[in-house]
Amino acid sequence: MGTNNAKVAGSAPGSDSATGPAARFDAESPTEVAILKGMVDASADACWCMEFDQPVDLESPDREVIRQVFENGPRWRFCNQAMARLYRLPPHLDLSDRPVHEIFPRNRQNEAFIENLLRSGFQVDAAPALDSRYDGVQMHVENDVRAHIENGRLIRMFGVVRDVSKRRWRENDLKGKLQAVEWLMGAIPDALIAFDDFLLITAANPAAAKLFHTDVETLVGTNVRLYLRSPGATGEDAGALLQGAVASPHIAGEPVDLALQIRTGAATHWCCGGGTDPDGKTMHVAIIRPLAKGGEDVAGRPDIKAGAMRQ
């Protein structure tokens, strides 16, 4: 991680050359420094710069580097007004005077944040962290971070931070709903599959995997035709029979009943329904039950003969 010369990790190529953008900025000019500070402070993006009382030795083992980041006297060199607003700082306080740990505590997520910086050479965008606002609320954030490294020592790091708590909440909410749906599908005793107009399977439950003598991961993404015996008992192409049955979707809300022989040789009753998903794509769902010798399925539906349909 070390370097023999001072540098800014992630700086643009040529930015320190005599003809580059840096040549037009005089770091010794109070006027130009004031202009730059005013631009950053006026930004709607929350900007920050953190320095250390004792530079962090980046050539140490990773765990030691992480310890030093939190314990080598980190302090805010500069934070703009957007940063103060983001962290709900009381208006009579100056964030630059506050201890870093008040909003950037040492926790598992923030240790992982520093590990991420180490792996990326302190040039990273959208790095996740878990911070604390001054109203006591924890906040999931993402940081775009760069750093000033000199002779293998981390002098300062700086970046832009964004609150992604709402997005994280939505992701967790969707994840919870998906898990609930997966649990419900797993609890259904009948075989159930979802497929599109081309008979490509998009979802399946464990009962379907058991019926077709495979697993759910194998079923999803494959074509229903692979699990049908063709020609069937009537000499028809089972896949074509299924595709034709669901081709004129269930506008009236009526299911389509169909008897098909699957690859294992078993006769099965398919009760198919369908509609359009939120993206406007037509999707079909089939509940599949074995057919008994007398023409009844295991639920007792009579007279479902091979290839017959009831619309």
pTM of the shown model:
0.55
pLDDT tens across the length of the chain (311 residues): 433 344 455 443 333 434 444 456 565 667 776 777 777 777 889 999 999 999 999 999 999 999 999 999 999 999 999 999 999 999 999 998 999 999 999 999 999 999 999 999 999 999 999 999 999 999 999 999 999 999 999 999 999 999 998 887 788 788 888 888 888 888 889 999 999 989 999 999 999 999 999 999 999 999 999 999 876 555 578 888 888 888 765 444 678 888 898 988 889 999 998 887 777 788 899 999 998 765 555 444 444 444 443 33
Q: How far apart are CA 269 and CA 260, in angstroms?
A: 6
177-310 and 7-163 share a CATH fold: yes
| Record: fold of 7-163 | Beta-Lactamase (3.30.450)
Residues 6+ apart with CB under 8 A from 300: none
Largest CA distance in the chain: 95
| Helix ranges restricted to H, the chain | 30-42, 62-71, 81-86, 108-119, 165-187, 206-211, 216-219, 238-245
Q: How far apart are CA 142 and CA 160, in angstroms?
A: 8
Q: How far apart are CA 290 and CA 284, in angstroms?
A: 19
| CATH architecture of the domain formed by 177-310 | 2-Layer Sandwich (3.30)
Q: Are 256 and 274 in contact (CB under 8 A)?
A: no
The domain ranges of the chain are: 7-163, 177-310
